[in-house]
A and B are shown apart, each in its own frame.
Chain A
């Protein structure tokens, strides 16, 4: 990390004062120093205390200056229209995550409001959403907030899962925090049969442990005592299906952690949230896909093992195979990881059938028709850049058959997530 030029330091000190001089080394630019100083002051002004204003500002600037992330210094991070409480030990929600979460809620809103008329009994069918590796609970909380507002009559059943007790405690705290700030309506109690029924729960579980995860996954509607349609399993709707599975799992390799994370991440954020533990990889080592190819039949990878930072995707896709969620969204670290995950999907016959169909190759890719299923890569900053779309051709399988992948988001954005939509499910956006 290059040192701050002394000149800039003095300039900052002169212009913005001693507090800023503390912030400058971590903020790097005058602009972001000025921003953070203002946010710190606003925060102090808004939280009453008997300690004088100046002393508190100074103390927070001091902590921030030592590298503690601003969200830990201030104790929260905005996420969509929510305020998410943050504390050391639980990962701070990122703007990238916020962006695709908003996009997801738009997808769900459109697909539901267009496919359903008011008289449709399906509205009583809850929208089932599960977020694995939920951390602060930011993803399920924002989805709950957005969907309860945009689909006011829709029943919701949203679940967050994390291995860390600290994260689960914090996610529950975040539920109450935003509830008290009137940012969204109170969830229904499970016995409350009034309509719409909105459920939002957080559970502690290790996603690699079937014994603790299966009970959560196998009952999408925990309140679904309404056995009306459970037996007659119509293909696209019905109790017992997850409409959306999201996950922002740990995805950084040990070497990536040492070399390419920012210091404030490395020093202050929990490694459990960032780097998949090696034991998991050993435990989960198995044959997952055959071969996969890129354009021109160039073989990129022929091993049957995945890279260690991809182990959570292997597990998430295993879950997708079993529970067949209508939509899956997995955050990834970059375009390369996104491609590897796509390769894992397309290289697995069952997953490919579920999410890609046996879609014949059509150039221009998009015209695969409604309900054809989709495997997509989303780049950063999809919100505000919805119009951008690229086509990527991926050859997969022993025969090297070409498949079309749609890449969405601004072309300069990093690859940020992989989106799967099951065959037969229609999205409008």
Chain B
């Protein structure tokens, strides 16, 4: 069984984008921000102001339980925000601009009006590209803010966590199997274990995904270290987009 719906390209430059400020430290690193649109499907984002206020104001906003895993093809679509909820924050360039200056000022700052989440993107030299990137990053942040555990990022995160767990489990199992084989030499035991795992659903993707994910996870480890620095992780060296609520 090889399903490769979930594609996580490690994009080193993008991994430097930011660490999230909403909820827990987020790993935006490997998300395929650059590759294409989210397939045209609409996100599961509460957009009315009251819904936003309700979520923002609630004491325990994310009480609904999310399945701890989802199959890759059940991943929520990459979120997209409607243009009329977005506002570009005017970044006044220094100096007269035009022919008199040749600064490389490509930064774009974008605000999601209902939630007041603001992000700045100066990842690329192209303002056009930064405007696109800013929209994708902001959509992910808003999704996480509004949908918490149910957001795409959280779910992607969960799947990976699950995968890591299952990897550890596999290692343990392998060890156990060796032990058992040494002791009894039976095969049935192994099948039983596999079945149990299937029911639990630890394995969501085909094996060929493993490599890509591993690269991704390595990045995650680095980011984890950064995150230990707490607040400082918000602004990293060479980092280009800082996020946060204003």
Instruction: Say if the beta carbon of A77 comes within 8 Å of chain B.
Output: yes
Asked if B131 is at the interface (CB within 8 A of a chain A CB), the reply is: yes
Contact with A along B81-118 (1 / 0, CB 8 A): 00000001010110111111111111010000000000
Of B95, B108, B125, chain A has the most CB atoms within 10 Å of the CB of B125
Confirm or deny: B127 has a beta carbon within 8 angstroms of a beta carbon on chain A: yes
Cβ A385 vs Cβ B100 within 8 A: no
Instruction: Contacts A35-B104, A80-B128 given; indicate if A16 touches B237 (C-beta within 8 A).
Output: yes
> In the bound complex, do residue A16 and residue B238 qualify as a contact, i.e. CB atoms below 8 Å apart?
yes
Known contacts A38-B13, A78-B129, A410-B90; decide if A92 and B122 are in contact (CB<8 Å): no
| B66, CB-defined interface residue at 8 Å | no
Residue from A15, A31, A334 with most neighbouring chain B CB atoms (10 Å): A31
> Chain A residues near B95 (CB, 8 Å)?
262
Chain A contact residue count (CB 8 A cutoff): 54
Residue-wise, chain A 391-412 has the 8 Å CB interface mask toward B (1 for contact) of 0000000000000000000101
A263 smallest CB distance to B (angstroms): 10
When A and B form their complex, what is the total count of cross-chain residue pairs whose Cβ atoms lie within 8 Å?
Answer: 107
Q: Is the CB of B102 within 8 A of A385?
A: no
Closest to A268 in B: B102
**A413 interface residue, CB < 8 Å from B?**
yes
- The distance in angstroms between the C-alpha atoms of A414 and B124, with both chains bound, is 24
Given contacts A92-B102, A269-B102, contact A414 B128 (CB under 8 A): no
B150 to chain A, nearest CB (A): 30
Sort A-B residue pairs by CB-CB distance and give the 9 closest, nearest first: A78-B126, A384-B88, A34-B238, A261-B100, A410-B90, A262-B101, A69-B102, A15-B237, A414-B97
18 additional A-B residue pairs with CB within 8 Å, beyond A38-B240, A70-B125: A16-B238, A34-B237, A38-B238, A39-B104, A39-B124, A91-B99, A251-B98, A252-B99, A261-B99, A262-B95, A262-B102, A265-B99, A333-B96, A333-B99, A380-B93, A384-B88, A385-B88, A414-B96
Q: Point out the residues of chain B lying under 8 angstroms from A78, CB to CB.
A: 106, 124-129
Q: Is A192 an interface residue (CB 8 A)?
A: no
Query: Which residues of chain B come closer than 8 Å to A15, judged between CB atoms?
Result: 237
CA of A39 to CA of B127, assembled, Å: 14
Taking beta carbons and an 8 Å cutoff, which residues of A are in contact with B?
A: 15-16, 31-32, 34-39, 42, 69-71, 77-81, 91-92, 94-96, 98-99, 102, 248, 250-252, 256, 260-262, 264-265, 269, 273-274, 331-334, 380-381, 383-385, 410, 412-414, 416
B121 to chain A, nearest CB (A): 11
Q: Write out the residue numbers on chain B whose beta carbons fall within 8 Å of the beta carbon of A96.
A: 97-98
Which residues of chain A have C-beta atoms less than 8 A from B103's C-beta? 262
Pairwise interchain contact B238-A37, C-beta atoms closer than 8 A: yes
Tell me whether A102 and B99 are in contact (CB under 8 A).
Answer: no
Segment 120-140 of B: residues with Cβ below 8 Å from A: 122, 124-129, 131
Partner of A95, one of B16, B99, B105, B239: B105
A413 touches B90 (CB 8 A): yes
CB neighbours (8 Å) of A95 from chain B are 105-106, 127
Which residues of the partner chain A approach B92 to less than 8 Å between Cβ atoms?
412
Question: Is the pair A81, B128 in contact by a Cβ cutoff of 8 Å?
Answer: yes
B contact set with A: CB distance below 8 Å: 13, 16, 88, 90, 92-93, 95-106, 108, 122, 124-129, 131, 237-240
Q: A333 touches which one: B98, B126, B131 (CB < 8 A)?
A: B98
**When the two chains form their complex, are residues B131 and A384 in contact, meaning their CB atoms are under 8 A apart?**
yes
In whole Å, how far is A81's beta carbon from the nearest beta carbon of chain B? 6
Residue of B nearest to A334 (CB): B96
Which of chain B's residues has its CB closest to A70's CB? B104
CB <8 Å contact, B97 and A94: yes
CB nearest neighbor in B for A273: B99
Q: Which of A36, A265, A412, A413 contacts B100 (CB 8 A)?
A: A265
Whether A380 lies near B13 (C-beta < 8 A) is no
> How far, in whole Å, are A416 and B128 apart by their CA atoms in the complex?
18
| Chain A residues within an 8 Å CB radius of B93 | 380
- Measured CB to CB, the nearest residue on chain A to B106 is A95
A310 to chain B, nearest CB (A): 14
- How far is B95's CA from A250's CA once the two chains are assembled, in angstroms? 18
Instruction: Name the CB-closest residue of A to B129.
Output: A78
Chain B residue nearest to A83 in the complex (CB): B126
Within the assembled complex, what's the spacing in Å between the Cα atoms of A1 and B238? 25
A residues less than 8 Å from B13 (CB atoms)? 38, 42
Give the contacting residue for A256; candidates B16, B100, B122, B237; CB below 8 A: B100
A and B contact pairs by CB, cutoff 8 A, 6 listed: A39-B104, A70-B125, A81-B128, A248-B99, A264-B102, A333-B96
CA distance A31 to B62 in the complex (A): 36
- Min CB distance A195 to B, Å, is 29
Q: Name the CB-closest residue of A to B90.
A: A410
Q: Are B128 and A102 in contact (CB under 8 A)?
A: yes
Query: Given the complex, which residues of A lie within 8 Å of B104, measured CB to CB?
Result: 32, 35-36, 39, 70-71
- Cβ-closest chain B residue relative to A257: B100
Q: Are B237 and A94 touching (Cβ within 8 A)?
A: no
Select which of B90, B100, B131 is within 8 A of A262 by beta carbon: B100
Give min CB distance, B221 to chain A, whole Å. Answer: 21
**Cα–Cα, bound, A96→B91 (Å):** 13
A89 to B161, CA, bound (A): 55
CA of A260 to CA of B99, assembled, Å: 10
**Do residues B100 and A252 form an inter-chain contact, with CB atoms below 8 A?**
yes
Q: Is the CB of B102 within 8 A of A414?
A: no
- When C-beta atoms are compared, the residue in chain A nearest to B130 turns out to be A78
A44 to chain B, nearest CB (A): 13
Q: Is the CB of B90 within 8 A of A265?
A: no
Partner of B99 from the list A274, A381, A385 (CB cut-off 8 Å) is: A274
Contact B97 A380 (CB under 8 A): yes
The interface residues of chain B lying within 8 Å CB-to-CB of A331 are: 98
